Amino acid sequence: MNSRRNKDGIIIKSVSHSYKTDTGVLPVLNNLNIKIPYNGFTAVVGPSGCGKSTLTKLISGLLKPDTGEVWLNNEKVIQPKPIVGMAFQNPVLLEWRNILENVILPLEIVPNKLSQLEKEKRARSLLSLVGLDGFENKKPSELSGGMRQRASLCRALVHKPEVLILDEPFGALDAFTREDLWQVMHKLRKEEPFTGVLITHDLRESIFLTDEVIVLSGRPATNQYEIKTEQSDNPKLESLFEPKSIEMLKNLRHQIEIAQDNQGNKS
């Protein structure tokens, strides 16, 4: 069995995928190739409808590609895998369970040998890490949107997934709360390492949180552009106003415009 340091992370190899619709076949992804190293974090951006959410379903095993292969840590994905954690724009917390019980939920589903006390200890540790001490017994409706999203991130990480998929997790939040959670994500990544994929429409978010940004072309999407962000050990929001960041954002916006134009021409 391979040690953790010898695992390859995420490999998307020549993947194509289509959907059957009432008007015929809709190609969404076309010969897509992505490689994310173990414990790497990559953002995927592109025009609306280019297949970003489809990509998350392929990585998690909820969909199978028409052609090509998806590999997670040296294992081919042929079905949903417990090593994957997911967080979405809508936290989808269960109102009849308190926050602690919501966070523990994956440990009730994914096979493990933890006692109930150990599960609670694990959940409380994560809640403390994201600043939710004292809110364990609250119901989701008693928390703000940002606090609910913090709880959702804890739930996604509680079973120590090796792969974390974030599908626009901060898209519905106000700017101040969103930037606060960006800082939380850096703390989580340092304390709870994972190989990550971030789907986002926020280009500032993409360069602040991840090691690499991939721009997908217009549908059917393939690789159009990639850029390394060169994260520092202790990133500050002020870095987004530095010349290097401004240039990266300019390049990414230009690439998105190209993708949007190409998608429009194919429609």
CB 69 within 8 A of CB 35: no
Residue 267: its pLDDT value, please?
54
Residue 265: its pLDDT value, please?
62
C-alpha 144/C-alpha 163 separation (Å) is: 27
Return all residues near 170 (Cβ < 8 A) that are at least 6 apart.
89, 149, 177, 178, 181, 182, 200, 202, 205
Q: Report mean pLDDT in 10-residue bins for the chain, 267 residues.
A: 65 95 90 95 91 92 95 92 88 94 93 92 94 95 94 94 92 88 91 94 95 94 93 86 94 93 65
CATH code for residues 4-83+161-266: 3.40.50.300
Residue 142: its pLDDT value, please?
96
Residue 1: its pLDDT value, please?
38
- Pick the closest to residue 166 from 61, 251, 55 (CA basis): 55
The token pair at 45 is 């951006």
- Chain center to CA of 228: 17
Question: How confident is the model over 88-117, as pLDDT tens digits?
Answer: 888 889 999 999 999 999 999 888 889 999
Angle at 248 between CA 172 and CA 262, to 5 degrees: 75
Q: Where are the domains of the chain?
A: 4-83+161-266
- Pick the closest to residue 46 from 260, 265, 204, 264 (CA basis): 260
Question: How confident is the model over 30-46, as pLDDT tens digits?
Answer: 999 999 999 999 999 99
Residue 110: its pLDDT value, please?
86
Residue 171: its pLDDT value, please?
85
Sign of CA dihedral 26, 252, 37, 171: negative
CB 74 within 8 A of CB 2: yes
What percent of the chain has a predicted confidence (pLDDT) above 90? 72
Residue type, 63: L
The model's pTM: 0.90
